[in-house]
Amino acid sequence: MLHTTFANLRSHLRRLLSTGLAVVLGVGFLAATLLIGSSVRGAFDQSFDEWTDGVAVAVRSDSRIGSDEVVAQIGTLDLALAEQVATVDGVGVIAPSVEGSARIIGADGEALGGDGPPTLAGNWVEDDGLNPYDLAEGRAPAAPDEVVIDRRSADLGELSVGDTTTVLTPRPVEVTIVGIGTYGDRDSFGPTTFTAFTTEQAQDLFVGDREQVHQLLVAATPDVDPDALAAEVTALVPDGTEVLTGDELAADLMAMIESDFIGFFETMLLAFAAIALLVATFSIHNTFSILVAQRVRESALLRAIGASRGQVLGAVTIEALLVGAVASGLGVAVGVGLGHLALWAMDGAGFGMGTGLVLSPGRVAVAFAVGVLVTLVASLAPSVQASRVAPLAAIRDTAVERTRASRPRTAVGLGLLGLSAVALVSAPSAGDGAIARAGLGAAGVLVAVVMLGPVVARPVASALGLPVALVRGQSGVLARRNAVRNPRRTAGTASALTLGVAVVALFTVFASSITAAIDDTVARQFGGDLVVASDDFSSAGLSGDLAPAIEELPEVARAVGGGNAVMEIDGDTEYATAIDVARLDGLLDMGVAEGSLADLGPDDLAVSSDMAEDHGWEVGDVVTAIPSPGATEQLRIVALYENTDLLGPVLVHPEMWARHTAQPADVAILVEAAPGVGLDEARAAIAAVTERFDAPAPQDRDEYVDAVAGEVEAILGIVYGLLVVAVLIALMGIANTVSLSVHERTRELGLLRAVGQTRRQLRSMVRWESVIVAVFGTAVGVLLGVVLGWGLLRAISEAEGIATPLAVPVGQLAVIVGIGAVAGILAAWRPARRASRLDVLAAIATD
């Protein structure tokens, strides 16, 4: 039996290898994801070890704002504590450390960084052992207007020692570059920028108090154990202070980047890898189903001459195991190549850590094992089907294959569809569990649609094939009949494409709905003329002096700036907006429900009606707020409002926030032009001011909406790029199925040629059959994506309190369907060409 199995493998080698291509791509994507994640994690781990290499002990405040996963602010430390720490035996050098954010302006006037990676700033640590940066050129800063920058920023900004430039803190600071540093043997700490001032200047800019620092870095004398030193320092320092060894500090930094970036990065990639593997599973299952159906007589003959069901089952399983093993091995190799390519692209885009791909044996083994397992699972049902073939089937003239969905499958599919639809529709009523219920309902709908595919395949494919039959004559008629005569096969072939397209359509609907919601929100709530908005993800933001400078212009009636203010309110971390809301009358409609925003002063706050309801607050209540670690404010609620889309659920006065931050910054400035001043005239005047502050140019409402939508579309572009792999696997499945179908119908095709069908007509028939199947899968996927997008948007809107109505981008979805049709032609190109070259007599003689 084993000999027969290997003989089958040799005889069907080409078909099995084509089956394995789906596994190769799926495993390649997974392997690349795992290896990239491992490499990025390893690079950060190594970098943080280098960062803390000379640090025996770090002393810092244990007061912070945020959660264990995301720390928004860490408290400062009294610099005088350094004198006490210095009295501990074993303490060598103590260096104060100040941390902040700043953007460097390059020689071309453009700001460097800010597109994701941090724009780091702080003080230049004098001790070489405690400073992770080394001076490669120049000297350390000695005056308030002197800085050291990293070599990567110097190269990108075309800056060198002796040049003068501006650093946005966010207040523009004119500086002279006196030194260029490197991070070990690298130009910088990954894709970050770094600006180092004198300690005093860094304190002024980022702490606001020359008696405070963020932490003390301690180097030990030779042969002193860091753990023992940490214990002694802990016994000395006051309450509210924590002491970490260098290793613990590195682990803490790694944990922060893990939760803030690496975890999300890996989760996103793994989600797409899972989609690719799921699509591959459908493709493999369908291919093995066809192979088993084509070998019914062969399986029956084996049974007739004494093979047991277990042996037949084992034979198909061995085939799947070998295909999975070979394809998974190739997939790992492809994944290594993709990993190198991805890291190279990340480095080129400025997001890399400058590290090569790390080949982790464990992760390679996981990718290989998953590929083999996916292949075995996908082949399980066909294997069982092959083992159930009755010996009498060997005497039949033709192979017998079930072409319709069974009644139990139909019943289960309809039941699952009904239950899942109820879960999806009722998700908004689930409160905090709305998103989870909607996700469960969406998954159920997806499974139900796959189960019911054979039920709808015949009528839908028939309808889609009608135009083909009318336009392409007899070849179109035959293509349509071929597409509908085996609904199970048509549905199975299209299911992988349906899944991939459904995810693409889902994200397309999401992006369109978010863009429409932003457009609607700005149109309804913003009554101003222009917006100056921060165009980066850096925490530096816009200078607090910019809005007053704009408002001084005779062309401007009002300019109101608003910035982010992260604080704890009633024990919860809230992302508030610091803005003089009393000046927003007529400029922004907040939908006041109770109280008056005009009453908001430095000791007050306004909250959304939903937030007030959740906490049981009313106008006049006083709540405890912690705007910075160790500081407490008692703030009185003066207003409740409904519209939270632009400014969020909490509003505080800028003066209150300025009391607790050394870096007050705006993220947007809302501008109203003076009466009688045209938009272009106001824009030109404001642009001259923003240029002086190295800030973005002003935008009108449409430009602002387009800019925000552009960020959504950029993210969507990445999503599309990742999903291309899944869709490519699905199209390969269609090509494989068409190829197997052509092989199965060799005699039929020969007879068609014998009765007068030309080669061109034969190619047209095969291609249009593929197009009908591809369009069927694409159309069902698009419809499914729209339905799931609607359900998930409703749940997210309810859970997050953000009204996001459904917006169906008909044009984009039509393009997706059109791409599906073109892909169907491409998938059938080679099988159709091979079919048209069949020898007529040999084809007719085929058994």
pLDDT digit string (tens) for 322-379? 888 888 899 899 889 888 887 887 776 666 666 678 788 888 999 899 888 888 887 7
Among 224, 239, 258, residue at a domain's last position: 258
482 and 620 share one domain: no
574 and 685 both lie in a single domain: yes
182 shares its domain with 79: yes
What's the CA gap between 531 and 679, in Å, rounded? 12
CB 159 within 8 A of CB 177: yes
710/686 same-domain check: no
Report pLDDT digits (tens) over 386-400: 666 666 554 554 444
pLDDT at 397: 47
Task: Give pairs for 482-487: CB < 8 Å, separation 24+.
Answer: 482/741, 482/765, 482/769, 483/769, 483/772, 483/773, 483/776, 484/457, 484/458, 485/403, 486/401, 486/403, 487/403, 487/404, 487/405, 487/453, 487/454, 487/455, 487/457, 487/458, 487/461
Q: Is 234 helix (H, G, I), strand (E, B) or coil?
A: helix
Domain boundaries, position 647: 546-692
- Chosen domain end from 222, 238, 258: 258
Report the pLDDT value the prediction gives residue 393, as an integer from 0 to 100: 53
Whether residue 119 is found in the same domain as residue 195: yes
Question: Chain-wide mean pLDDT for the chain?
Answer: 83
Q: Considering only CA atoms, which of 568, 564, 546, 772 is closest in space to residue 671?
A: 546
662 shares its domain with 513? no
Taking a C-beta distance cutoff of 8 angstroms, is the pair 625, 568 a contact?
yes
User: How far is 574 from 627, CA to CA, in rounded Å?
Assistant: 10
Please report whether residue 590 resides in a domain. Answer: yes
Could you tell me if residue 712 is inside a domain? Answer: yes
Give the containing element (helix H, strand E) for 425: helix 407-426
* pLDDT at residue 732, rounded to an integer: 74
Whether residue 411 lies inside any domain: the answer is no
Omega into 170 within 30° of 0, i.e. cis?
Answer: yes
Q: Considering the domain boundaries, does residue 331 fall inside one?
A: no
pLDDT at 399: 47
| Token pair belonging to 488 | 């199970």
What is the reported pTM?
A: 0.75
CA–CA separation, 252 vs 424, rounded Å?
40
- At a CB cut-off of 8 Å and minimum separation 6, what does 306 contact? none
Same-domain pairing of 647 and 740: no
**Are 820 and 677 part of one and the same domain?**
no
By three-state DSSP, how is residue 756 classified? coil
Q: DSSP assignment, residue 353? A: -
pLDDT number for residue 409: 75
Residue 688 lies inside a defined structural domain of this protein: yes
Q: Are 526 and 588 in contact (CB under 8 A)?
A: yes
Percentage of the chain modeled with pLDDT above 70: 87
Reduced to 3 states (helix: H, G, I; strand: E, B; else coil), residue 532 is strand
| pLDDT, position 138 | 94
User: Are 204 and 227 in a shared domain?
Assistant: yes
pLDDT at 162: 93
Position 307 in a domain: no
Structural domain includes residue 346: no
CB atoms inside a 10 Å sphere around CB 588? 21
Residues 723 and 637 in one domain: no
Paired strand residues for 172 = 168
Neighbours of 691 (CB within 10 A): 12
Relative to beta strand 650-652, strand 622-626 is unpaired
Same domain, residue pair 211 and 82: yes
Is residue 806 within 8 Å of residue 789, measured between CB atoms?
yes
Question: What sign has the CA pseudo-torsion 273, 274, 275, 278?
Answer: positive
Whether residue 371 lies inside any domain: the answer is no
What pLDDT, on the 0 to 100 scale, is given for residue 488?
A: 78
Domain count, the chain: 3
Q: Which residues of the chain have pLDDT under 50?
A: 394, 397-400
pLDDT at 645: 80
Out of 216, 232, 258, pick the residue that ends a domain: 258
Give the pairing type, strands 193-197 and 119-123: parallel
Same domain membership, residue 814 and residue 725:
yes
